[in-house]
Structure 1
């Protein structure tokens, strides 16, 4: 887990765009870092008891990562997810031995249900609460360190889909600690009837401490993209170049290219690519 490839995508005006391929983590997304950070913290605090069961809500990447690492530890994992979860995910969770609890239509309902289950039976469950768990963000300090080490510190900006905000918060913490002057960009999605990117923050979908705090941070610039604008780049400028990344990366790419041109960004620009195309699908 970690030490994922940083690969050059190409040049735009005076900038060079690099992709940090987090889809190369074991379960296929950056959420492996979230889970590992949380597990390390639980272990250090003596809470990682093998007789207990993990529980959390997710409709995709985090659930897949937690289920996989739970299987590695030999611990039971309960995933609370929407009633409309795709069959490919059901197959995956069955494959790794996770228990699915179908509840509601989105992660907000699932999160509340997790809290209720945990509060009713705290001796049974370990509620990892990825949306508000500082340990998930802390692990992403390593993500920023890997990026800067690979490019010898020569990085002008990092773009990442906001999501829960944990990855951005962790990277910013490292950047602030070492006093680097690079600019952090949080990519969010404008309303688009054509569709939405997986991993892109939706207002009101589920409340996250990190996402809310980042939106209030004046040092982090928010740039919006749309599904309609980003999707053509995924097909024509990512997949065609051999970057088998998820669709959300094309949103970050579209936002980065537009910002480079409008703001005159120069130097090395890094995009955090959150997942692999077709990730979590059983063979």
Structure 2
């Protein structure tokens, strides 16, 4: 098949069944591999949806500039879209941004603005967003996708990704997805609960994330965790929340590579860990897990023994038995924190 643009290759990602990492109770785990998108993640869908909608309603003008705060996959997706559609792309990031992301977006012609002063808690998310606001005032015809708060984020997944998933897997019992910006889990679940009301949605997040109102802590996994509840997260569409610790998510990612041949990112490892725990509790269930990106971006981190050992994560992986398939399954039966019903404000109703 011949495509007129690389952007036409976004979507239609494969679904792969786990064969060796199973609970042995009749449950089934299917992994939707979003790393097969052209820039390597589910953010290709998100970014393309937000940009396309902004083009159609005039917020993004021809030869305009896209400005966004990012330290990972959203930047890669926007750099690709900018190159394919002729936009200037300015990405605001910080010194913690991985080298793989910096090299990728630079190769595609994106410009980088580095915020070097963290906030009082040592974080860079809010300082980066302040820099974006200044750039929006300075750059004419600029557009800020604002992935955490733009409703087109969730709508893209509700209208496109969910339909694709239902075509591929018409019948299943559970959706497990990383929380991230809240966009893909909220959008997917919104459509699924309308089309398949019995589907249970499990949101997996980093232990220490405040997305659902839990106290803010510290975590090392990328692709998970945020210091405030993102505007695109709709808790009413999430039935259960599973907070996963670094060693559980990273250990699972390593075992997926070595036991299933699936090289996925850290948030995908955490999501599969959450799915294994749910599979233990739900014999016979068919569970779909969204793997947000591929593992190539993490070869120098969670797949690097020295990197893990320097941070004490390797020792925790070994102590928990997560360095063998059997140990991983045992750990998933008894996770550090069990999934629990989604916290909701008093009087809030489920959809």
SS in 2 for 1:139: helix
Alignment of 1:199 with 2:223, yes or no, is yes
**Distance in 2, Cα, partners of 1:197 & 1:177:** 32
Q: Counterpart in 2 of 1:129?
A: 146
Q: Counterpart in 2 of 1:117?
A: 135
1:38, CA displacement in angstroms? 0.6
Q: Counterpart in 2 of 1:19?
A: 31
1:191, CA displacement in angstroms? 4.2
Q: Does the 8 A contact of 2:69 with 2:92 survive in 1? A: yes
1:147, CA displacement in angstroms? 1.8
Q: 2:254 aligns with which of 219, 232, 235?
A: 235
- The change in CA–CA distance for 1:203 and 1:219 in structure 2 (over 3 A counts) is same
Alignment of 1:65 with 2:77, yes or no, is yes
- 4+ aligned runs moved over 4 Å, structure 1: 191-195
1:161, CA displacement in angstroms? 0.9
Q: Counterpart in 2 of 1:9?
A: 18
Q: Does the 8 A contact of 1:162 with 1:186 survive in 2? A: yes
**Distance in 2, Cα, partners of 1:232 & 1:164:** 23
Q: Counterpart in 2 of 1:186?
A: 203
Alignment of 1:138 with 2:150, yes or no, is no
1:236, CA displacement in angstroms? 2.2
The residue correspondences of 1:168-187 to structure 2 (distance < 5 A) are 168-187=185-204
SS in 2 for 1:170: helix
Alignment of 1:275 with 2:275, yes or no, is no
SS in 1 for 2:18: strand
Structure number with the higher strand fraction is 1
**Distance in 2, Cα, partners of 1:45 & 1:195:** 38
Q: String of CA shifts for 1:115-134, please: whole Å, max 9, x gaps.
A: 2321x247331111111111
SS in 2 for 1:278: helix
**Which structure is higher in RCO with an 8 Å CA cutoff and minimum separation 6?**
1
SS in 1 for 2:264: coil
- The change in CA–CA distance for 1:133 and 1:195 in structure 2 (over 3 A counts) is closer
Q: Counterpart in 2 of 1:36?
A: 48
SS in 2 for 1:114: helix
**Distance in 1, Cα, partners of 2:278 & 2:183:** 23
Q: 2:277 aligns with which of 236, 245, 258?
A: 258
Structure 2 residue runs without a partner (length 5+): 1-9, 119-123, 210-216, 300-351
CA RMSD of aligned residues (A): 2.3
- The change in CA–CA distance for 1:163 and 1:96 in structure 2 (over 3 A counts) is same
Q: 1:74 aligns with which of 69, 73, 86?
A: 86
- The change in CA–CA distance for 1:202 and 1:46 in structure 2 (over 3 A counts) is closer
Q: Which range moves more in the overlay, 153-162 or 38-47?
A: 38-47
**Distance in 1, Cα, partners of 2:245 & 2:283:** 21
Q: String of CA shifts for 1:71-121, please: whole Å, max 9, x gaps.
A: 111110000011333333322222111010011442222112212321x24
Q: Does the 8 A contact of 1:27 with 1:279 survive in 2? A: no
1:255, CA displacement in angstroms? 1.4
Q: Give the structure with higher Rg (CA).
A: 2
Structure 1 residue runs without a partner (length 5+): none
Q: String of CA shifts for 1:212-260, please: whole Å, max 9, x gaps.
A: x42xx27521111111123222222334321011122111111111122
